[in-house]
Structure 1
């Protein structure tokens, strides 16, 4: 498998994706405190992949936009076929998981 990930920068925002253009067929949102955006995006992508790797044609996309408190995160990606409510729930659960969030922030040099 190729290690080629596209990192798109838009001002201070960052989008991490495998395929261009990035596309959200399925997505969930959260906010995180400040931390290194590329490291955060990769950590989120890895955990999202673990949660959705059996979904046919899933390709993760993570977008981080700066806020006063840190980052507004949109996580999801492409899916071949139709995205289900279960897929959205898996992404939401991944983003809301306190252990994931703590690990992401620790890896990204953030404060939690």
Structure 2
């Protein structure tokens, strides 16, 4: 796997995008997005913004899981962290990324 490659795992109706396997969620936050059709594209867009917010977290490997539920997409974003970290602070940063109105509008336009 090259540096620009990501593992894409599709199982049980969910698409999981991860840097490392086995997939591990040491921290995670969930949200729901209406009107999105492209799971893979959505996962990559969320992952990019997630990485921008948490790239200074040592040992961080992002994971995004997208599941289609009727007419909405359920998104679980977080990942694995090698080492100590403040879970509450990191999950709050992820929540800010996931609930940002500009991010959500961009994801819905592009996915």
TM more than 0.5:
yes
Q: Does the 8 A contact of 1:28 with 1:88 survive in 2?
A: yes
Structure 2: runs of 5+ lacking an equivalent: none
Deviations 1:2-35 (A, max 9, x none): 1110000014310000100111001100001232
Paired residues in the alignment total 108
Structure 1: runs of 5+ lacking an equivalent: none
1:17 and 2:18 correspond: yes
Choose 88-97 or 77-86, whichever is displaced more: 77-86
Q: TM-score scaled to structure 1, two decimals? A: 0.91
Q: Does the 8 A contact of 1:25 with 1:83 survive in 2?
A: no
Once superposed, which parts of structure 1, at least 4 consecutive aligned residues long, lie more than 3 Å away?
Answer: none
Aligned-pair RMSD on alpha carbons?
Answer: 1.2
Q: Does the 8 A contact of 1:15 with 1:64 survive in 2?
A: yes
1:1-112 equivalences in 2 (<5 Å): 2-33=3-34, 34-84=36-86, 85-108=88-111
